[in-house]
Structure 1
Amino acid sequence: MQPYLAGNGHNLRQTDYQLQSSLVATIKRRFRTYGYLETGTSTFQDYDMYSSMVGTVRKHNMIKTIDPSGDVLVLRPDMTIPIARRMANEKASYRRLFYVQDVFRQLKDESNPKEFTQAGVECFGEDTPENDAETIALAVHVLQDLEFDQFKVEIGHAGFFKDLIDELPLSPEELEKLQELIQSKNLVEIRPFLNNLSVEESIVKAIETIPLLYGKPRDVIERAAAITLNSKMERTVAYLQQVYTLLKAYGIENCVVFDLGLINHMDYYSGVIFQGYITGYSKPVLMGGRYNDLAEQFGAEIPAIGFGCIIDHLLNAKKEAGQTAQTEETVDLVIYYDQNRSSDALPYANQLRNQGYQVLTQTADSTGNTPAKFIIWLTDEESLLIHRQKQTAFQNIGELEDLLQTEMREN
């Protein structure tokens, strides 16, 4: 799913690129363990596709351009929508897809960049509490893989608030204002706002409670059950209980909290919604949720859920936590060789590269000094593998590969 964006863009130092590359590689590995396949979309998208859709990217946030034929295009402001359209056009009923691509938004604050890197997943074809819990578990596992010490995934449900306000005759402007008050947990202004609309006291009390429905899932479920006003809200509370039971089975209940005051600006969410926060970092690093009705705007009925990680925010959170990349690039191996050992050194390098090692070759009289985990010296007198000031002689490439594998296992 496509979260709202704000970050530092792509003005990265070289060391930041190394850290970002490591983050992306880790995220991709985790996505694949859940059975997701990589996909992508065109940088340029049809403006009409976005402008005609309900509850998605606002028109003034899109960056527009004109192609030679005079058609209006936009730089890709969202990943979920073009992927959902493709699924609808292909009449696909089930698919798990992930992406790592840049998106582009024109934000009100000119100090914010317009280009952001995102990594996300979209799961089409399932609509069950099991699928929701698994998607949230994937989000938790991503943050665990990135070795953040403390984080929380806040879980809400778009249907709970929507089913409650169905009891109210609100204009679009009044609805937007109420959403702002709830999202900011502005308890002082909610009652006066609703009183001006002549809302029944029972509904006022229920709406006033929503910003307070935050905390341990079991407690939130109990308090939410006490303010339900219709059968839809009751079913939502029961559904969240099912999801929580499954999250406990994943063993991640300590990583999540429930927040039924969680409201996302994307109106196409229809069920469970969630966002991830790193302790000590103020902005959400991932957002997502269920959007069962989005494909209907492309003429198909395909339930779906997903989330997007904001790589820029993950990078900043890593740096603020002091988890920075090494100041120097380190390769696996550097082979230093005398000129008359080139017939050994270069084939060695090729074979080790084919084994997946990063390998640099340099003549013994080279002035360069590249940081490496292992050093190989090939001279007229000997062949040595050097690791942590330990020197080990070898006779051929087979012995060298065995030595490397042994050192890797021991370290």
Structure 2
Amino acid sequence: MQPFFHVIGNDLSQFDFQLQNSLTATIKNRFYTYGYQETKTSTFQDYDLYSSIIGTVHKQDMIKTIDPSGDVIVLRPDVTIPITRKMVSEEESCRRLFYVQEVFRQPGDENHHKEFTQAGVECFGEDTPENDAEMIAMAVHILKDLKFSQFKIEVSHAGFFKELIDELPLSGEESEQLQKLIKSKNLTEIEPFLQNLSVEKPVVKAVKSLPMLYGSPQDVIENAASIALNEKMQQTIEYLKQVYKVLTAYGVENAIVFDLGLINHMNYYSGVIFQGYVASYSKPVLMGGRYNDLATQFGQSLPAIGFGCVIDYLLDAGIAAGHLTQTDTLAELVMYYEQSQINSALSAANRLRDAGYQVMTLNFEDSRNNSIPSIFTVHFEKERSLLFHQQQQMEFQDIDELENLLKTEMRDN
């Protein structure tokens, strides 16, 4: 009788794992191009780190355990918070950090996994429209790097909703309920919700309009200005105009829509917030925003902005769209040799590896029933040596000629 094991994780097939590695490498490379350095946080975190901070992960979503000393610890449910604490406590000199780490949360339903991979960036110490726009532009460039041709970055500002809420006589529970209604654009229930409150007509109009403030930045800014109830809301609109101006300078304006009804479940966001969607995939593949007040909960004022890419979602979306295929997992070069040519083959393999190529070596006899798909194939035969690439066959005399052929083929393709 076979033992039964309850699957609680998300074990990737080897094929998907290789695709995930390729995808992650692309994202990390883009982070590098913007001047970010990699960092790491512990998988196990103090429960109090999250439970004591306002606007973080819900307690019921954390995966908890007890350490030998009896303290409650959690598997890391969020990366931004420990990185922020690290910046404050260690006074890190580098203020542009990125990470690729696992995040653990108790899923709300059985279709979600307890563990997922997140790749994200955090920028500390800068608080300008230029900095916000750069972060959004980086998100656009990542989706382009991953070969998504149809996608949108939805941009909002946490302050606009918070300033509007301040005009309403709401309890904490009522405020949370209204957030859910606006986030889901549930106009049917928003109106009766407001009727139960003693609210002036301009405020009612503004709240009812908020879910519909979606579309081109120019239109949203114009419509938002018409319902702004106070100076702070006007200032928020002006700030978004400045952010969009810089996004236009980056040349990414066609990927941008404004959605002032966008509300992030992480309430520590204080300024610009955004999330990215790709065509034919219903979940946001990346999200983030400005969180200027988070560091104050560790005793220091430190403005910051960041975003995270959900690697699992990007993998699913890329496979569904055909952007990630088996060619992304092919070995770079497989070298087959006859036994009499083993010295030449292994010498060539070492030379190519030192030059940065990925090389697998196989004896012809051992590989008769185990051909490995690859981008380049090399044969070291008794009478001749051959390079195969894209249905072409090229003969070479020595390792120098082989290396030159490889460079030419890689440059031309």
Q: Could you state the TM-score of these two structures normalised by the residue count of structure 2?
A: 0.94
SS for the counterpart of 1:247 is: helix
| 8 Å CA contact 2:148, 2:323 repeated in 1 | no
Query: Aligned partners of 1:245, 1:389: CA distance in 2, in Å?
Result: 49
The counterpart of 1:383, out of the listed 351, 361, 385, is: 385
Match of 1:244 in 2: 244
Cα displacement string for residues 146-189 of structure 1 (whole angstroms, at most 9, x for unaligned residues): 11121110000000111111122211011011111111112222
Q: Contact 1:93–1:124 at 8 Å: present in 2 too?
A: no
SS of alignment partner, residue 243 of structure 1:
helix
Q: Please show how residues 2-401 of structure 1 align to structure 2 within 5 Å.
A: 10-92=10-92, 95-326=95-326, 329-366=329-366, 367=368, 368-401=370-403
Evaluate the alpha carbon distance shift between residue 322 and residue 333 of structure 1 in structure 2; reply closer, same or farther with a 3 A threshold: closer
Letter in 2 for 1:399: E
Q: Indicate how the Cα distance of structure 1 residues 363 and 353 shifts in structure 2: closer, same or farther if over 3 A, else same.
A: same
- Determine helix, strand or coil for the equivalent of 2:81: helix
Please say which of residues 130-139 and 316-325 is displaced more in the overlay: 316-325
Deviations along 1:285-306, one digit per CA (max 9) or x if unpaired, are 1110000000010111110000
Whether the 8 Å CA contact 1:18–1:325 is kept in 2: the answer is: no
**Which residue of the partner structure matches residue 408 of structure 1?**
410
Contact persistence 1:63–1:104 (CA under 8 A): yes
Residues 329, 371 of structure 1: 8 Å contact kept: no
SS of 1:283's equivalent in the other structure is coil
Letter in 1 for 2:371: N
Structure 2 counterpart of 1:112, which letter?
A: H
Offset at 1:384? 2.4
CA distance in 1, matches of 2:235, 2:251: 25
Cα shift at 1:400? 1.4
Query: Higher RCO, 1 or 2 (CA under 8 Å, sep at least 6)?
Result: 1
| Residue deviations 1:67-107 (CA, integer Å, cap 9, x gap) | 11111110000000000000010234761111111100012
1:300-358 deviations in Å (ceiling 9; x for gaps): 11100000111111111122223342189522222222223222111111110111111
Give the AA of the match of 1:384: L
Per the alignment, do residues 21 and 196 of structure 1 end up closer, same or farther by CA in structure 2, a change over 3 Å counting? same
Report the alpha carbon displacement of residue 389 of structure 1 after superposing the two structures with TM: 4.0
Q: In structure 2, the residue corresponding to 1:393 is in which secondary structure?
A: strand
Amino acid at match of 1:294: L
Q: CA separation in 1, counterparts of 2:233 and 2:28?
A: 37
SS at match of 2:78: coil
Match of 1:3 in 2: none
Instruction: In structure 1, give the amino acid aligned to 2:134.
Output: E
Residue type of the partner of 1:401?
A: E
- Mapped contact 1:94–1:126 kept (Cα < 8 A): no
Structure 2 counterpart SS, 1:98: strand
Assess, with a 3 A threshold, how the Cα gap between structure 1 residues 322 and 381 changes in structure 2: closer, same or farther: closer
Deviations 1:212-237 (A, max 9, x none): 11100001001111111111111101
Aligned partner of residue 138 in structure 2, secondary structure: helix
Tell me the distance in 1 between the aligned counterparts of 2:391 and 2:190: 68
Residue 379 of structure 1, CA deviation: 2.8
Query: Structure 1 CA distance, aligned partners of 2:91 and 2:219?
Result: 42
User: Secondary structure at 2:152's aligned position in 1?
Assistant: strand
Residue type of the partner of 2:70? Answer: G
Partners of 1:132 and 1:305 within 8 A in 2: yes
**SS across alignment from 1:149:** coil
Change in CA separation of 1:9 and 1:305 when aligned onto 2, cut-off 3 Å? farther
- Give the 3-state SS of the residue equivalent to 2:326 in structure 1: coil
Give the share of equivalent positions with the same residue, in percent: 66
One-letter identity of the residue aligned with 1:35:
G
In structure 2, C-alpha distance between the alignment counterparts of 1:193 and 1:407, rounded to whole Å: 66
Q: In 2, Cα distance between the equivalents of 1:394 and 1:93?
A: 51
Deviation at 1:373, TM superposition (A): 2.2
2-structure distance, mates of 1:363, 1:320: 37
Residue type at the aligned position of 2:269: Y
Unpaired runs of at least 5, structure 2: 1-7
CA distance in 2, matches of 1:214, 1:22: 34
* Rounded Cα–Cα distance in structure 2 between residues aligned with 1:317 and 1:254: 21
Decide whether aligned partners of structure 1 residues 61 and 250 sit closer, same or farther in structure 2, where only a CA change above 3 A counts.
same
Greater alpha carbon shift after TM alignment, 30-39 vs 370-379: 370-379
Over the residues paired in the alignment, what is the CA RMSD in angstroms? Answer: 1.7
The answer to whether the 8 Å contact 2:19/2:328 transfers is no
Does the C-alpha gap of structure 1 residues 97 and 75 become closer, same or farther in structure 2, counting only changes over 3 Å? same
CA change 1:339–1:252 in 2 (3 A) is same
Find the aligned partners of 1:92 and 1:12 in 2 and give their Cα distance: 35
Distance 2:328 2:151 in 1: 29
Other structure's SS at 1:226 match: helix
Counterpart contact for 1:337–1:364, Cα < 8 Å: yes
Report the count of equivalent residues. 404
Instruction: Quote the Cα distance in structure 2 between the aligned partners of 1:328 and 1:188.
Output: 47
Distance 1:168 1:46 in 2: 36
